[in-house]
Structure 1
Amino acid sequence: MFTRRRVVPALLALVVAVLVPLTGCANAAGAEPEDKTFKFTGKSLNVKSHGIPTDLVPADRKDVKVTRWFDKDGRIGDTHEVWELQGDVLELRAGCNGLANCDAKFRVEVPQGVAVLRDGRETDLKG
C-alpha cells in the first residue's frame, strides 16, 4: 500500500532524476572572452567582484579594461550579469538562477599609479 511518507520522497527523487541531466558543468576557462573599457580619471578604484575569481593587473593605459569569461550550462534558469563602473567602484557580478550552472572569471587592467581596493580592502594587484 502506498502511503504519503513513501510517495512524496519517491516523487521528489523522480523530479531530481529528470531535472539533473538538464544541467551540466559550466567552465569559464573554455568561454569566449568579452571586453569592456571604462573611462577612468580617479586616483583609486574599488573592485567588487563578489567572490568571482578576478585578476587585477597594472597596465600602461589611461582607462580600465575588463575582460570577462562567462559560461552557462543548463537549460532552465536565468543569468544575472553586471559589469559597470560608477565613480570609483567597479561592480562585477555573473551568476545564474534556477537549474543552471554558471562559471565566470574576470581580468581587470588598471592604469599604473591607481590605488586598487578589492571589495574595500587594499590589494597588491594580484589575482
Structure 2
Amino acid sequence: MSTRARKNTRGRTAAALIALTAGLLLTTTACADAKKADPQEKAFPFSGKKLNVRTNDNPTDLVPADIEDVRVTLWFHEGASLGGSDITWELKGDTLDLDASCSGLADCDTKFRVEVPRDLTVLRNGKATDLKG
C-alpha cells in the first residue's frame, strides 16, 4: 500500500471516529425534556364558533377556560444540537397551526397547551375532540 493510500485511510478513519464520538456525546448528554423548558405564551383574538387546532404530531392539551381569546402555552426544550429548530404557532382564519421540531442531528421535546373559550367547538386536526379540564 502506498504512503498516500495509508494517509487517506487514516484520514477517513479519524473522521469516522470523530463523527461517532460526536453522535454518542449528543445522544448521551443532550436528552431534551419539555418539563425543563420555560413556558412561552401567546394570545390570539378569536371570534369564530369553531376552531381547528393542527398539532403536527406535537403533544397538545386542549382545555376549556373562562376566557374570550385563544391562549397557547409552549414548552420547548432543545438539548445539544448540530442542527436547527423551527417553531410555528399562528392563527389563520379558523385554524391554529402548532408545530415545533428539530432538524439535523438534534434532540428536542415539545408540549403545547391551548386554552379556549368554553362555548367554542374545537377540532383536533380536523376531527371532533374532547376538551380536558
Q: TM-score with structure 2 length normalisation?
A: 0.83
Which of 78, 83, 107 in structure 2 is aligned with 1:77?
83
Moved more, 48-57 or 12-21: 12-21
After superposition, residues 35-50 of structure 1 pair within 5 angstroms as: 35-50=41-56
After superposition, residues 1-127 of structure 1 pair within 5 angstroms as: 12=16, 14-23=18-27, 24-126=30-132
Percent sequence identity over aligned pairs: 50
Displaced runs of 4 or more, over 6 A: 7-10
User: Larger Rg: 1 or 2?
Assistant: 2
RMSD over aligned CA atoms reads 2.4
Post-superposition offset of 1:19 = 3.2
Where structure 1 has 5 or more consecutive residues not aligned to the other structure, the ranges are none
Find the aligned partners of 1:125 and 1:12 in 2 and give their Cα distance: 50
Find the aligned partners of 2:23 and 2:119 in 1 and give their Cα distance: 50
Name the amino acid aligned to 1:21: L
Where structure 2 has 5 or more consecutive residues not aligned to the other structure, the ranges are none
Please list the CA deviations of residues 30-53 of structure 1 after superposition, one character each: whole Å capped at 9, or x if unmatched.
110010000000000000111111
Moved more, 24-33 or 13-22: 13-22
Bigger fraction of residues in helix: 2
Kindly tell me the number of residue pairs found equivalent between the two proteins: 125
Post-superposition offset of 1:10 = 8.4
